[in-house]
Structure 1
């Protein structure tokens, strides 16, 4: 077997497009290692075309928040027969974690925006780069929250959608700002009727609390009670990232009794827009059949008793019985995230996450750290990328990074 130098020399004699085809199939970390092998490999993997195509091939990974006990923002990835996880930003040594200290605000194209101590940082976990995100000053007594990051395709610029508001956001305004700029543009909701201050606050609250689903060049939020606000049955807020304007869509027409508690959430499923309805004992999933006509089709239902029975069988197998006791019964569902076209993650009992297939068969519990006390599906997903941060030049070399990256757990 030839040594490493011999193998590299052999590959160096291959046409550049073949080398490109080999390297583009590697995971992001391996591509990073290959960049230090030789100048040719570094040049091949550093072109915008390579990085864009490489990112496009990466799966969108669900992010779980352990609230610092002991792990915080963690991506959940598939590792064959079992699920592994990688913590994105453990806290700095000696840093005493407080619940509201660090928050993931949004993700897009491998970038994340993190809020910490009133500041916002745009980060790339793969390249381990981060930069302070400059935002224009707010009025006295107002505060700023970034609610979305997206690419404006006509200009190829990354832009943020953010809200500036008073305490509790009873008075607020929405703005668009190019990453690295300090010149915002004001945008407004479009509604059939004039809204009261309270109704406007309810809509802004939905943008702040729930991460948007990016689909067909638009951002989508499901706003609770929005049908009562708009007056015409539309309850999905849509932000067109090209026109940079708001519009509305309808969620599926569900036959649910008014007194039955349920929670609706948007999610991506096989590059389609999907809608999940979580009730105490069932979880229904609908898929957008015709986006332009706003037609939904029922996909499948998962029953809680089926999941609990499968979970007990999974955990009492001879292989797992000693390792994982039956200490928690699935009492209710909270929310879900699609792992791939046949599997999903389900948060239950507020603080546990399991992985199962679309028939309700449990494949295992998600573990993000030893003695994990809290697990919350954030609704955010990370599609790993090697694309440089668009405003990285604003970060000085001697700036103390707000986060560090650790190895797989």
Structure 2
């Protein structure tokens, strides 16, 4: 790119702007016409999102009681802890899924209403109601068993998935599994039905990972991963490392690592990080083995939420911890100061910033 007398080369300016937080970037765009032009280019948007993927964070929804409005706390390994607001939605919502800087939120007072928003740019889209909702209901409480959000930054497209066991009004559930998929390009829902005998715990529902164009969940008992290909609406079962399946006393948690599926295995004394090196042949590799001796008292209640090659974020009942993988140091990032009714891991999501126009 060109350079101008008395100014930095355009490429240097782009590299600097690409490392700003989203809010600071939008302020920087107003400084001059050159910065606005450079930061609006497709190349810059792609670069910004690539840089942002290397800085995974944790978003935690904290509330004193179910009746009160919750607050969003963002723990960032680079910039510390900050608070985010979803007040631009003009609704009381619960965060149901997170992917590549976007959040899928459901309305608390109005069931069946969903939003997809970018909390950094404060843009959002109100999803149309599905026609299927008046004649079927998800079992057992009217809410979807699984809520997933898949966001493809390269083509600026997202999908929302609502899936669960359903029953026709007035009848018992019949064992079929209904899946509704929202497509941001068409602004419409599509439906397909399959038979599923899998069960998902509350923690499994939050642990959804979007890689290779598919959403992935752990089944209860951590027997395997269930994935949904969003391109062809096909479910697939993916095997876990043998040690994760057959070794007693382990807990497994599904996360992402550099665009790959990753499973973090927690035992009484160790945390093992596995990554899937070959998605088609389902080949796993042990990436790291971490002693939990110095946080022994917290081990029963720690849940890995997000990670990079450099660190792992974990949530406990009252704290957000970060483990620095190179220095082998543990650090408390955030602690609840009041008596929150739910443990932090129950409402914690992996998060990263991005430039995505979702409206």
Given the two structures, how large is their TM-score scaled by the length of structure 2? 0.76
Who is 1:36 aligned against? Answer: 30
**How far 1:180 sits from its partner (Å)?**
7.1
Over aligned residues, Cα RMSD in angstroms? Answer: 3.8
Tell me: CA distance 1:52–1:368, structure 2 relative to 1, closer, same or farther (3 Å).
farther
Tell me: CA distance 1:30–1:358, structure 2 relative to 1, closer, same or farther (3 Å).
closer
Q: How does 1:190-269 map to 2 (within 5 A)?
A: 199=197, 202=199, 209-225=205-221, 227=223, 235-254=224-243, 260-269=248-257
Q: How does 1:113-192 map to 2 (within 5 A)?
A: 113-117=104-108, 118=111, 119-137=113-131, 138-140=133-135, 142=137, 143=142, 145=144, 147-151=147-151, 157-163=157-163, 165-166=166-167, 172-179=177-184, 181=186, 183-189=188-194
**Distance in structure 2 (CA, Å) of the matches to 1:302 and 1:21:** 34
**How far 1:75 sits from its partner (Å)?**
1.9
Give the length in aligned residue pairs: 333
**Distance in structure 2 (CA, Å) of the matches to 1:219 and 1:87:** 28
Tell me: CA distance 1:89–1:183, structure 2 relative to 1, closer, same or farther (3 Å).
same
RCO higher in structure (CA 8 A, sep ≥6): 1
**Distance in structure 2 (CA, Å) of the matches to 1:27 and 1:43:** 18
Q: Give the secondary structure class of the aligned counterpart of 1:29.
A: helix
**Distance in structure 2 (CA, Å) of the matches to 1:104 and 1:20:** 33
**How far 1:173 sits from its partner (Å)?**
0.7
Q: Which runs of 5+ in 2 are unaligned?
A: none
Who is 1:322 aligned against? Answer: none
Who is 2:84 aligned against? Answer: 88
Query: Of 45, 50, 65, which aligns to 2:44?
Result: 50
Q: Per-residue displacement from partner, 1:233-280 (whole Å, max 9, x unpaired)?
A: xx111222333322111001027777x443211112344322122234
Query: Of 62, 82, 85, which aligns to 1:66?
Result: 62
**How far 1:340 sits from its partner (Å)?**
3.1
**How far 1:105 sits from its partner (Å)?**
1.5
Q: Give the secondary structure class of the aligned counterpart of 2:19.
A: coil
Structure number with the higher strand fraction is 2
**Distance in structure 2 (CA, Å) of the matches to 1:352 and 1:25:** 28
Task: Tell me, yes or no, if structure 1 residue 385 matches structure 2 residue 322.
Answer: no
